[in-house]
Amino acid sequence: MESLQNHFLIATPTMDDPLFKRSVTYICEHNEDGAMGLIINQPANLNVDSLLDKLEIIYPDATASLQGPVYQGGPVGQERGFVIHPPQENWRSSLKLSDDIMVTTSRDILEALGSSAAPLKFLLTLGYAGWEAGQLEKELAENAWLSIPADPDIIFNTPVKDRWQKATEKLGFDVWQLGPDVGHA
Protein backbone atom coordinates (compact mmCIF):
# COMPACT_ATOMS: atom_id res chain seq x y z
CA MET A 1 0.00 0.00 0.00
CA GLU A 2 1.32 3.41 -0.96
CA SER A 3 0.46 6.08 1.59
CA LEU A 4 -1.63 9.01 0.40
CA GLN A 5 -0.53 11.22 3.30
CA ASN A 6 -0.02 14.79 2.04
CA HIS A 7 -2.22 14.10 -1.00
CA PHE A 8 -5.59 15.40 -2.10
CA LEU A 9 -8.51 13.06 -2.57
CA ILE A 10 -10.69 14.53 -5.28
CA ALA A 11 -14.28 13.31 -5.48
CA THR A 12 -15.07 12.11 -8.98
CA PRO A 13 -18.19 13.45 -10.74
CA THR A 14 -19.88 10.09 -9.99
CA MET A 15 -19.62 10.65 -6.20
CA ASP A 16 -23.21 10.98 -5.04
CA ASP A 17 -22.69 11.15 -1.27
CA PRO A 18 -23.81 14.72 -0.44
CA LEU A 19 -21.11 15.00 2.26
CA PHE A 20 -18.35 14.46 -0.31
CA LYS A 21 -19.82 15.58 -3.65
CA ARG A 22 -17.20 17.72 -5.48
CA SER A 23 -15.01 17.68 -2.38
CA VAL A 24 -11.26 18.02 -2.08
CA THR A 25 -9.90 16.29 1.00
CA TYR A 26 -6.39 16.83 2.34
CA ILE A 27 -5.11 13.47 3.64
CA CYS A 28 -3.30 13.90 6.97
CA GLU A 29 -2.77 10.24 7.75
CA HIS A 30 -2.96 7.04 5.71
CA ASN A 31 -1.57 3.70 6.82
CA GLU A 32 -2.62 0.07 7.27
CA ASP A 33 -5.04 1.13 10.04
CA GLY A 34 -7.02 3.51 7.82
CA ALA A 35 -6.98 7.14 6.77
CA MET A 36 -7.90 10.56 8.08
CA GLY A 37 -8.35 13.78 6.11
CA LEU A 38 -9.81 17.27 6.13
CA ILE A 39 -12.21 18.55 3.49
CA ILE A 40 -10.86 21.93 2.32
CA ASN A 41 -13.68 23.21 0.11
CA GLN A 42 -16.89 23.03 2.13
CA PRO A 43 -17.39 26.22 4.16
CA ALA A 44 -19.66 25.97 7.18
CA ASN A 45 -22.13 28.70 8.06
CA LEU A 46 -19.65 30.06 10.57
CA ASN A 47 -16.80 32.56 10.37
CA VAL A 48 -13.56 32.17 12.31
CA ASP A 49 -14.33 35.20 14.53
CA SER A 50 -17.75 33.75 15.42
CA LEU A 51 -16.16 30.45 16.40
CA LEU A 52 -13.59 32.26 18.54
CA ASP A 53 -16.45 34.16 20.21
CA LYS A 54 -18.23 30.87 20.99
CA LEU A 55 -15.00 29.52 22.49
CA GLU A 56 -14.60 32.74 24.50
CA ILE A 57 -11.23 33.43 22.92
CA ILE A 58 -10.24 37.09 22.91
CA TYR A 59 -8.73 38.29 19.64
CA PRO A 60 -7.74 41.62 18.09
CA ASP A 61 -10.48 43.59 16.39
CA ALA A 62 -11.68 42.31 13.02
CA THR A 63 -8.70 41.32 10.97
CA ALA A 64 -9.42 40.01 7.48
CA SER A 65 -8.16 36.50 8.31
CA LEU A 66 -10.78 36.16 11.05
CA GLN A 67 -13.63 37.03 8.68
CA GLY A 68 -13.02 33.90 6.61
CA PRO A 69 -15.12 30.77 6.92
CA VAL A 70 -14.63 27.78 9.12
CA TYR A 71 -14.75 24.64 6.95
CA GLN A 72 -16.63 21.38 7.43
CA GLY A 73 -13.63 19.09 7.66
CA GLY A 74 -15.76 15.97 7.60
CA PRO A 75 -18.58 14.14 9.33
CA VAL A 76 -16.53 12.66 12.19
CA GLY A 77 -15.73 14.51 15.44
CA GLN A 78 -17.32 17.80 14.44
CA GLU A 79 -16.52 19.26 17.84
CA ARG A 80 -12.78 18.91 17.07
CA GLY A 81 -10.90 21.71 15.33
CA PHE A 82 -7.97 21.42 12.95
CA VAL A 83 -5.88 24.29 11.63
CA ILE A 84 -4.01 23.71 8.36
CA HIS A 85 -1.16 26.21 7.99
CA PRO A 86 2.41 26.62 6.73
CA PRO A 87 4.94 25.10 9.16
CA GLN A 88 5.49 27.08 12.33
CA GLU A 89 7.03 25.31 15.32
CA ASN A 90 5.55 27.07 18.35
CA TRP A 91 2.28 25.12 18.89
CA ARG A 92 1.63 22.42 21.49
CA SER A 93 0.06 19.84 19.18
CA SER A 94 1.15 19.96 15.55
CA LEU A 95 2.05 17.52 12.82
CA LYS A 96 4.30 18.68 9.99
CA LEU A 97 3.10 16.87 6.88
CA SER A 98 5.36 18.52 4.30
CA ASP A 99 7.73 21.45 3.90
CA ASP A 100 4.64 23.58 3.17
CA ILE A 101 1.84 22.16 5.33
CA MET A 102 1.32 21.56 9.03
CA VAL A 103 -1.84 20.65 10.95
CA THR A 104 -2.34 21.90 14.50
CA THR A 105 -5.06 20.78 16.90
CA SER A 106 -4.20 22.64 20.10
CA ARG A 107 -6.10 25.63 21.47
CA ASP A 108 -2.97 27.79 21.60
CA ILE A 109 -3.10 28.37 17.83
CA LEU A 110 -6.72 29.53 18.10
CA GLU A 111 -5.71 31.95 20.85
CA ALA A 112 -3.04 33.41 18.54
CA LEU A 113 -5.28 33.94 15.50
CA GLY A 114 -5.46 37.57 14.50
CA SER A 115 -2.19 38.39 16.28
CA SER A 116 1.36 38.68 14.99
CA ALA A 117 2.07 35.17 16.36
CA ALA A 118 -0.54 33.56 14.09
CA PRO A 119 0.32 31.77 10.86
CA LEU A 120 0.17 34.13 7.88
CA LYS A 121 -2.24 31.74 6.14
CA PHE A 122 -4.51 29.14 7.64
CA LEU A 123 -7.62 27.09 7.05
CA LEU A 124 -9.71 26.09 10.09
CA THR A 125 -11.92 22.99 9.94
CA LEU A 126 -14.34 21.36 12.33
CA GLY A 127 -14.53 17.61 12.05
CA TYR A 128 -12.66 15.23 9.80
CA ALA A 129 -13.19 12.45 7.30
CA GLY A 130 -12.11 8.99 8.40
CA TRP A 131 -11.75 5.62 6.71
CA GLU A 132 -11.30 2.23 8.37
CA ALA A 133 -8.52 -0.13 7.28
CA GLY A 134 -8.99 -0.97 3.61
CA GLN A 135 -12.04 1.29 3.17
CA LEU A 136 -10.28 4.08 1.27
CA GLU A 137 -8.49 1.60 -0.97
CA LYS A 138 -11.86 0.01 -1.80
CA GLU A 139 -13.39 3.42 -2.62
CA LEU A 140 -10.39 4.26 -4.82
CA ALA A 141 -10.82 0.96 -6.68
CA GLU A 142 -14.51 1.83 -7.18
CA ASN A 143 -13.46 5.15 -8.77
CA ALA A 144 -15.11 7.31 -6.11
CA TRP A 145 -11.86 9.25 -5.68
CA LEU A 146 -8.82 10.40 -7.62
CA SER A 147 -5.63 11.43 -5.87
CA ILE A 148 -2.82 13.88 -6.53
CA PRO A 149 0.00 15.24 -4.36
CA ALA A 150 -1.29 18.09 -2.20
CA ASP A 151 -0.73 21.60 -3.50
CA PRO A 152 -0.49 24.31 -0.82
CA ASP A 153 -1.49 26.90 -3.43
CA ILE A 154 -4.91 25.25 -3.68
CA ILE A 155 -5.30 25.21 0.11
CA PHE A 156 -4.10 28.72 0.88
CA ASN A 157 -4.48 30.82 -2.27
CA THR A 158 -7.31 29.41 -4.39
CA PRO A 159 -10.85 30.70 -3.76
CA VAL A 160 -12.99 27.99 -2.18
CA LYS A 161 -15.41 27.86 -5.11
CA ASP A 162 -12.50 27.03 -7.46
CA ARG A 163 -10.63 24.40 -5.39
CA TRP A 164 -12.29 21.29 -6.84
CA GLN A 165 -11.85 22.53 -10.43
CA LYS A 166 -8.23 23.58 -9.85
CA ALA A 167 -7.44 20.19 -8.27
CA THR A 168 -9.07 18.30 -11.14
CA GLU A 169 -7.08 20.35 -13.68
CA LYS A 170 -3.86 19.07 -12.06
CA LEU A 171 -4.90 15.53 -13.04
CA GLY A 172 -3.97 16.33 -16.64
CA PHE A 173 -7.25 15.20 -18.19
CA ASP A 174 -10.90 16.28 -18.26
CA VAL A 175 -12.45 14.62 -15.23
CA TRP A 176 -15.90 14.95 -16.81
CA GLN A 177 -14.82 12.43 -19.44
CA LEU A 178 -14.66 9.70 -16.82
CA GLY A 179 -17.38 7.11 -16.94
CA PRO A 180 -18.60 5.11 -13.95
CA ASP A 181 -16.67 2.04 -15.13
CA VAL A 182 -13.27 3.66 -15.71
CA GLY A 183 -10.44 1.33 -14.79
CA HIS A 184 -12.61 -1.81 -14.90
CA ALA A 185 -12.38 -4.35 -17.71
CB neighbour class for 155 (10 Å; exposed up to 12, middle 13-18, buried from 19): buried
CATH level 2 (architecture), domain 7-177? 3-Layer(aba) Sandwich (3.40)
**What pLDDT is attached to residue 183?**
44
**What pLDDT is attached to residue 184?**
39
pTM confidence score: 0.91
Contacts of 118 (CB under 8 A, 6+ apart): 65, 109, 112
pLDDT band, very low/low/confident/very high, at 179 (cuts 50, 70, 90): low
> 144: how many CB neighbours lie within 10 A of its CB?
17
Could you tell me the residue ranges of all domains in the chain? 7-177
**What pLDDT is attached to residue 180?**
54
**What pLDDT is attached to residue 62?**
67
Of the ranges 14-18, 41-45, 74-78, 99-103, which one carries the lowest mean pLDDT score? 14-18
Whether the predicted pLDDT of 185 surpasses 80: no
Q: Which of 2, 3, 11, 40 is nearest to 145 (CA)?
A: 11
